[in-house]
Structure 1
Amino acid sequence: MSSSGHGHTPAAWTGVIIAFIGFCVGGAFIVLGSVAGFWAGIALIGAGAVVGGIMRAAGLGQEPRRAGKPAAAARPQES
């Protein structure tokens, strides 16, 4: 599975880390009973998606595979 390169880009890592922090913030504030803190966590989750998308558009993400092109042909041959 790791040989596919799925998610091994700066855009993916950054987006997931920001979203994870958002989940932690939202969860902590649910326990503390703060509605505003919960929504701040939800905003961070959305910000993670936006930042990841912007970074991917800037060229820091994985290039999409073309339809009909097998995965083995998309990878360069190793010698």
Structure 2
Amino acid sequence: MSGSAHGHTTAAWTGVTISFIGFLLAGVAMVIPSPILVIVGLVLALVGPGVGKMLSAAGYGKKVDTAPKVDTAKKTPVGTGASH
């Protein structure tokens, strides 16, 4: 996945950060016992992916590569015993 830069965008980082803060807030609120903060945290956790999608649609996501893909790797037939 590192070759495709999956998740290395402003949209992805923002969505994950908002969700993480929401889960963190909900977890702390469960220990404190504060039902209202638990609900606020869970709402934030659910809003995060939506914010990420909106930012991606606004152009902060992964750029679409329109160039045709060319496979330049040498292929060795299976079962020939040749090693790389």
Q: Structure 1 unaligned runs (5+)?
A: 66-72, 75-79
C-alpha distance after superposition, 1:44-72 (max 9, x if no partner):
1122112111101111112468xxxxxxx
Query: What is the CA distance between 1:22 and its match in structure 2?
Result: 0.4
Tell me which residue corresponds to 2:17.
Answer: 17
| Cα RMSD for the two superposed structures | 2.3
Number of residue pairs the alignment of both structures matches: 69
Q: TM-score, normalized by length of structure 2?
A: 0.71
Tell me which residue corresponds to 1:59.
Answer: 59
Q: TM-score, normalized by length of structure 1?
A: 0.75
> In structure 1, what is the Cα distance between the partners aligned to 2:64 and 2:29?
37
From the two aligned structures, give the one with the greater helix fraction: 1
Q: Which has the larger radius of gyration?
A: 2
Q: Structure 2 unaligned runs (5+)?
A: 71-84
Tell me which residue corresponds to 2:81.
Answer: none
Q: Which runs of 4+ in 1 moved over 2 A?
A: none
